[in-house]
Amino acid sequence: MEKYRKNLFNALACFLVVIVLNFALPRLLPGDPVAYLTGFSEEEMTVAQIDRYRAALHLDESVPRQFLHYLASLADGTLGYSYKKEATVAELIRGRIGYTLQIALPAVVLSSVIGLAWGLACGYRRDSLGDKLSSSVLIVLNTVPSFLIALAAIIFFCFQHKVFPYTGVSSPGFAPGVPGFFADRLRHLALPVLTLTLAAMPSRYLLMRNTAARLADEKYILYAKERGLSPCTIQFGYMLKNIAQPFITMLGMSVSLCIGGSLIIENIFSVSGMGKLLTDAVYTLDYPLMQGVLFVTTLIMVLSIIITDFLCILVDPKVRLGEKHE
């Protein structure tokens, strides 16, 4: 139970650090903070505009009161205002986060399920030819950057074989409700999801493989083999019960990692998700928008860790019995 308390404390501490940094960074940078909090350069604004923005951003008040206004923008869900795009940050993120989740969530499921099944099979038959070959290939793949995997996929599937489109999420004329829209969306998302799955899956495989290899020498597994049970029954009927806890933990971490990885992949495939939004914010020095994207991704990470730890407690009888004993 102490491990879960520590995980929760670390996640919340990281979340609070992000909140404080989001507030402090534009105010600590050299120059007028108005320029950083609006995205406009000081040369583009008149004195009257600077005074108006200072009042709107509460920069004419004390720093503690500014921080309270900042916390209020987080509490009411607006997450600040983007003067460059003339909309609240929450509105901008709501319009883009769906595309990010359409890439990240399938990648989470695919990388975790494939990593689990493949890792169980190879760990159960450790030191076999299949195990050695699989582990060697995936260790190498684990070192390849996701953008390189994306470029290789584009060259092979888009330019050489012309199987999939390489930009956007929909073809012209395929709006929601139009026949063929769903199939067209799947074709556009196939390569981004494939790229993120290949980037995330090796670490999932290696964790499951090593855990399964360690369990393969346990007495209950050896007894199950002696009874003549099939490898599939042993792997998914016996070993999976003891791998459930690290698998759930891995699944929770996969959510945050795939969300972060998706921000990079989106730019390569020209998907207008949060990654494109973050890139626009960086190029235009739109700090409120940058802060909002960082806040939301960190919030997703914290929630995934909390939910993961809660599920681990539910499936771990030792923790539950320990709580009752306390």
Structure tokens at 103: 């890439």
pTM of the entire predicted model: 0.81
User: What pLDDT does 322 receive?
Assistant: 53
Residue 276 and residue 103 in contact, taking contact as beta carbons nearer than 8 Å: no
User: What pLDDT does 243 receive?
Assistant: 81
Which residues, in sequence order, are bridge partners of residue 81?
A: 88
Would you identify the CATH topology of the domain 102-273?
MetI-like fold (1.10.3720)
* Per-residue pLDDT reduced to its tens digit, 105-127: 899 899 989 998 999 889 888 88
User: What pLDDT does 193 receive?
Assistant: 92
Element (H, E) at 88: strand 87-88
Among 108-122, 172-186, 265-279, which stretch is predicted with the lowest mean pLDDT? 172-186
| Distance from C-alpha of 28 to C-alpha of 25, rounded to nearest angstrom | 5
Tell me what the mean pLDDT of segment 139-165 comes to: 89
Report how far Cα 36 is from the mean position of its chain's Cα atoms. 27
In a 3-state reduction of DSSP, which class is residue 81? strand
**pLDDT level of residue 138 (50, 70, 90 thresholds):** very high
Alpha helices in 216-286 (DSSP H): 219-226, 231-234, 240-268, 274-283
**pLDDT level of residue 197 (50, 70, 90 thresholds):** very high
| Distance from C-alpha of 209 to C-alpha of 215, rounded to nearest angstrom | 10
| Distance from C-alpha of 208 to C-alpha of 240, rounded to nearest angstrom | 10
Higher pLDDT among residues 288 and 1, named by residue: 288
Asked if pLDDT for residue 136 goes beyond 70, the answer is: yes
Asked if pLDDT for residue 326 goes beyond 50, the answer is: no
Q: What contacts 186, CB < 8 A, 6 or more positions away?
A: none
**Longest C-alpha distance within the chain, in Å?**
84
Higher pLDDT among residues 5 and 128, named by residue: 128
Q: What contacts 22, CB < 8 A, 6 or more positions away?
A: 70, 291, 294, 295
| Distance from C-alpha of 309 to C-alpha of 252, rounded to nearest angstrom | 9
User: What pLDDT does 314 receive?
Assistant: 77
**pLDDT level of residue 134 (50, 70, 90 thresholds):** very high
In a 3-state reduction of DSSP, which class is residue 145? coil
User: What pLDDT does 140 receive?
Assistant: 92
Among 27-31, 182-186, 228-232, 318-322, which stretch is predicted with the lowest mean pLDDT? 318-322
**pLDDT level of residue 317 (50, 70, 90 thresholds):** low
Q: What contacts 113, CB < 8 A, 6 or more positions away?
A: none
User: What pLDDT does 114 receive?
Assistant: 92
Among 137, 257, 148, which Cα is nearest to 209's?
137
Among 100, 17, 88, which Cα is nearest to 271's?
100
Among 147-151, 203-207, 246-250, which stretch is predicted with the lowest mean pLDDT? 246-250
User: Which percentage of the chain shows pLDDT scores above 90?
Assistant: 10
In a 3-state reduction of DSSP, which class is residue 87? strand
User: What pLDDT does 321 receive?
Assistant: 53
User: What pLDDT does 76 receive?
Assistant: 87
| Distance from C-alpha of 241 to C-alpha of 40, rounded to nearest angstrom | 56
Asked if pLDDT for residue 133 goes beyond 90, the answer is: yes
User: What pLDDT does 324 receive?
Assistant: 45
Higher pLDDT among residues 261 and 196, named by residue: 196
